[in-house]
Structure 1
Amino acid sequence: MDTKIYDSIPELLEGLSDHGSIHLECNQEVAEDIFQYIRSHWGAADTAFLTFQDKGYERQTVMEYIGFFHRLFGETRAVEDILEDFDLGDVRKAKMRSLRPGEYTKIQLARVSMQNAKLYFLAEPLTNLNEGAMGKILRWIEERREAGAQFVTINSSLRYALMMPGTAFYAEDGKFCEVEKDGEESEALEEELEILKIPAKSGNSTLLFEPREIDYVESMNKCSYLSVRGTLYQTQLPMYELEEVLKKAGFFRCHRSYLVNIQKAERFEKWTKNSYVLILNNKEHSQIPLSKGRIEEMKETFHW
């Protein structure tokens, strides 16, 4: 099946009926245009928004803030249950102004969860979250989708877009391109390259990384990036060449858009019925999408 490419925001959002939910990697300018389009074309009673500009009432505690919207929306779940569902129990008495970015994101997601909307627009819903909170948010998104809701999420990293239930897209040159799904025909492999180090650009310099230094490789907007000590470096080598070279060093193609250094893998987890991730043991504890169809291959390859 061919991947979709949409030429405009209206075309992309018309595709919601086909995709159920759309998770887009794009910049803030594109995100703002999508937000304004949804706000002007969808009924206010049927939509819920989490935007980059959302600010809470800084003098309120988390409990007071959630309690206010609990009454406003006529929510039937207990406030304590909502705090637990969004991993907020430890900060329930904290002032809003004292919260860290990830905690603030969880509070705003708890707020929109009480609106029982048909369409949710969420900007960066997984950014700054630890793995436990991320799993809870993904399960909530899946539960709402199963109840008939649709999601449009905005993400600065394609990795987050790929983790969420629905279809991942990236914005490029004014178009919206669907990320190819696993199982589709892969690129033809060229002649095998014998490379001992992987080159990548950093300003005007070319850096040479040993495979053991690389945590994972990410394909984004038709470019490949090496993740080394928390920083992404662009390499001119295409993904299929990197896969052929790095599989000899213990790398595995865990997703069409990702190669992961299995030596850095700590564990893999099932977060929703169709969402799996590899958790790395690097400083960032990176969460890398793991395609459901590649789990058995991974187990057989590495004798897990």
Structure 2
Amino acid sequence: MEAVQFIKVERRSGDHVILPSLSFSIDKGARIGVYTSLERRRELQALLIGQQDQASGDVKLFGKSIHKKRPPAPEELGILFLDEGYYERLNVKDHLRFYKRIYGSAHSIQDILNTVKLAKHERVQVERLSLSHRRRLGMAKLLIQNPEIFLLEEPDQNVDMETKVWIRELLIQLQNDGKTVLVLTEHMEPAVLLSDTAYHLDEKGLSLLPSEKEEEEEGQETDTVIRIDKIPAKCEDKWLLFDPAEIDYFESDQGTSVLYCHGEHFPCGFTMAELEERLKHVGFFRCHRSYLVNLQRVREIITWSKNSYSLTLDRKEKRQIPLSKNKMADLKTHLGIK
């Protein structure tokens, strides 16, 4: 059964394409990530919650058209905004009581507090909560609402590692319970890490991000070792030459290899396959079809679930890089992990 349908939906502002002609459906019980711009993310959200009508086409939830005169019912769709609004002077437990009255929920407040791991903070005013705890409170609201579709805007942005892991585990559990999860984000990593199917949406349309099956078919590694001293990357009208040791990782974004170093990023002229071949002898590892990481920069290997992993870099911002399940054995061999 299709939970969400976009049928030839298109939006423009003059000559600017906000949404191309978009035909796309999400099955009930799917966990989907969409990596797109802020403008397109907000456009998708507005259409899904009935804040505005599409210029053309149709948006449907469970076969029923959504528009301003017919927004989704609370049991159909719930949304967690990045900047979710709260009553700052209420404490956590009073918030949950308020939500319970609004949605007529039969859920136990104590059970919800335990699920979101806020039981120790139930008497804390919201204005005193950390960003991570506020995000957990927002998820608690959705759990009380208990919609069929969970629409999440940047759910793991600016939260601590424990909360990132918890969000990932919760979304998997929601999917196992038959709920539909749609994550909208400006970054590729959460689109991949928080979903089991991830897409990129730009002015050309919707494209599937590389799957693990495609990674397995990418081809055999060769044993040729190529000595390389510098990696060139473009910066406006000049080329920068990077020592491999100072590079954190490379990301493939719509066919372009992007070099990340000290919090900055630059387009690189080499393909990911060429970079992998040039840099494998100095400790770079193809952890995902879209990522090549400097293992000297990796601090942690995180197991999200039985078949889902990520790498945390040894940087202040603790950037996470997806690790494909079929790459785990190779990584253990590289690192000498038994």
Q: Which category describes the TM-score, using the shorter chain as reference length?
A: 0.7 to 0.9
1:272-296 Cα distance to aligned partner (Å, 9 max, x none): 2332111222222222111111111
1:113-167 Cα distance to aligned partner (Å, 9 max, x none): 2222111111001111222111111111011101111111111110111102321
Post-superposition shift, 1:109? 1.8
Rg larger for: 2
> Tell me, what secondary structure is at the counterpart of 2:169?
helix
RMSD: 2.9
Question: Aligned equivalents of 2:252 and 2:184: distance in 1?
Answer: 18
Letter in structure 2 aligned against 1:285 = K
Q: How many residue pairs end up in the alignment?
A: 299
> Tell me, what secondary structure is at the counterpart of 2:33?
strand
Q: Are residues 1:38 and 2:48 paired?
A: yes
Show the counterpart of 2:274: 241
Over the matched positions of the two proteins, sequence identity in percent amounts to: 29
Residue pairs, 1:43-58, within 5 angstroms: 43-44=72-73, 45-52=75-82, 54-58=84-88
Letter in structure 2 aligned against 1:301 = H
Show the counterpart of 1:25: 35
On the 8 A contact 1:266/1:280 being kept in 2, the answer is yes
Question: Aligned equivalents of 2:330 and 2:130: distance in 1?
Answer: 39
Post-superposition shift, 1:8? 5.4
C-alpha change, 1:19 and 1:93, in structure 2 (3 Å) is closer
Show the counterpart of 1:3: none
- Structure with greater helix share of residues: 1
1:122 equivalent among 112, 127, 152: 152
1:137 equivalent among 146, 167, 170: 167
On the 8 A contact 2:151/2:182 being kept in 1, the answer is yes
Q: Higher relative contact order at CA 8 Å, sep ≥6: structure 1 or structure 2? A: 1
1:54-85 Cα distance to aligned partner (Å, 9 max, x none): 31112222332233213433555543443443
Letter in structure 2 aligned against 1:232 = H
Letter in structure 2 aligned against 1:230 = G
C-alpha change, 1:18 and 1:176, in structure 2 (3 Å) is farther
- Structure with greater strand share of residues: 2
> Tell me, what secondary structure is at the counterpart of 2:212?
coil
1:31-73 Cα distance to aligned partner (Å, 9 max, x none): 1221233224334221111124531112222332233213433
Show the counterpart of 1:265: 298
On the 8 A contact 2:248/2:297 being kept in 1, the answer is yes
Show the counterpart of 1:210: 243
On the 8 A contact 2:7/2:24 being kept in 1, the answer is no
> Tell me, what secondary structure is at the counterpart of 2:145?
coil
Letter in structure 2 aligned against 1:172 = D
